Amino acid sequence: MSERDPLVAGNWKMNGDAGSLDLLLDGVLSELSVLALRRCSVLVFPPYVYLGQVAQKLRGSIVGVGSQDVDQRTQGAVTGGVSAAMVKDAGCGFVLVGHSERRTLFAESDELVSDKFEQCGSQGLVPIVCVGETLEERRRDRTIEVVTRQLRAVTSRVGLAGFDGAMIAYEPVWAIGTGESATPEQAEEVHAGLRKCLAELDEDLSNRTRILYGGSVTADNAVALFGMKNVDGALVGGASLKANSFAEICKAAEES
């Protein structure tokens, strides 16, 4: 991999069932085989219960599998909990931590997100830490302050070695699932701010860490977003549920 080859990740959230996700994967694999990607990595994040099924189907393919979340504890009396070791056992190599839906719907704090990030590291899983501001925070000009606080909570916990290999997804809360993406310039400004924040820790780490953009990415806006210097790919929600639109986004990343 050259420094910061692009990556596109599909976050399927709480959608689909065994049959429909199998069909979606067939579509994705067929579309990607036509593209013959050389630079762009592709990941999908199915719901927990389908991780094993999806990982098995994708074994040997170019598409990697990740978990949308993980419990911060290692094991034990945690009814409903799913540990980092379990998602690894199911075939995952990646985990999303701190998605804004988790922060909002499940009141996940910066501290809890850091706990989860740390758990992923302890199992050799690659965490993708999601950061992003609300509309109100943007209106108050607090975007950089908010996203760097969310990032620093993790970096100060795990340090340089613990962050190495991880990724960041900048996902403005107001852009998720709304059809209103950040403009390429807005995304670039925040990505550059996040990279600067990482550079305070280590310049090389900052240069090699992928920062994905997420929030209403579509086949139509992907080319312009990926044209930005510090946008290294995308975390895609809605548009990842259709094989052709997801593949179009991968194509845009490949050609960026």
Instruction: Tell me which of 99, 133, 188, 248 is the catalytic residue.
Output: 99
* Nearest distance, CB of residue 85 and ligand PEP, angstroms: 25
User: Which amino acid, one-letter code, is at 14?
Assistant: M
Give kind and range of the element (H or E) at residue 103. helix 100-105
Using CB under 6 A, pick the residue from 46, 132, 193, 214 that binds ligand PEP: 214
Q: Three-state DSSP class for 28?
A: helix
> Is residue 189 among the annotated active site residues?
no
Active-site residue identified among 31, 133, 171, 248: 171
> What radius of gyration do the chain's Cα atoms show?
17
Q: For residues 101 and 188, which CB has a smaller minimum distance to ligand PEP in the complex?
A: 101
Out of 115, 237, 243, 248, the residue judged to bind ligand PEP by CB under 6 A: 237
132 binds ligand PEP (CB under 6 A): no
Distance from C-alpha of 18 to C-alpha of 34, rounded to nearest angstrom: 25
Please select the residue that binds ligand PEP; options are 108, 171, 248, 254, rule is CB under 6 A: 171
Mark residues 2-31: x for contact with ligand PEP by CB under 6 A, - for none: ---------x--------------------
Packing angle of the helix pair 110-122, 143-163 (nearest 10 deg) = 20
The pairs formed by 192-198 with CB atoms below 8 angstroms and a separation of 24 or more are 192/229, 192/230, 193/143, 193/144, 193/147, 193/148, 194/131, 194/147, 194/148, 194/151, 194/168, 194/170, 194/230, 195/230, 197/148, 197/151, 197/152, 197/155, 198/151, 198/155, 198/163
- In the bound state with ligand PEP, the residue whose beta carbon lies nearer, of 83 and 221, is 221
**Closest-CB residue for ligand PEP?**
237
Using CB under 6 A as the binding rule, whether residue 177 contacts ligand PEP is answered as yes
Closest-CA residue to 96 (of 169, 198, 175, 170): 169
The verdict on 217 binding ligand PEP (CB under 6 A) reads yes
The yes-or-no answer on residue 248 being catalytic is: no
- The minimum distance between CB 217 and ligand PEP, in angstroms, equals 5
Q: Is residue 98 involved in binding ligand PEP (CB under 6 A)?
A: no
Q: How far is the CB of 161 from ligand PEP (least distance, A)?
A: 27
Q: Is 8 helix (H, G, I), strand (E, B) or coil?
A: strand
Total residues in contact with ligand PEP, by rule CB under 6 A: 13
**Shortest CB 81 distance to ligand PEP, Å:** 22
Per the CB < 8 A criterion, the answer to whether 252 and 220 are in contact is no
Query: Nearest CA to 174 among 208, 152, 209, 146?
Result: 146
Give the shortest CB-31-to-ligand PEP separation in angstroms.
Answer: 18
Q: Which residues are catalytic?
A: 99, 171
Contact positions vs ligand PEP (CB under 6 A): 11, 171, 176-177, 214-217, 235-239
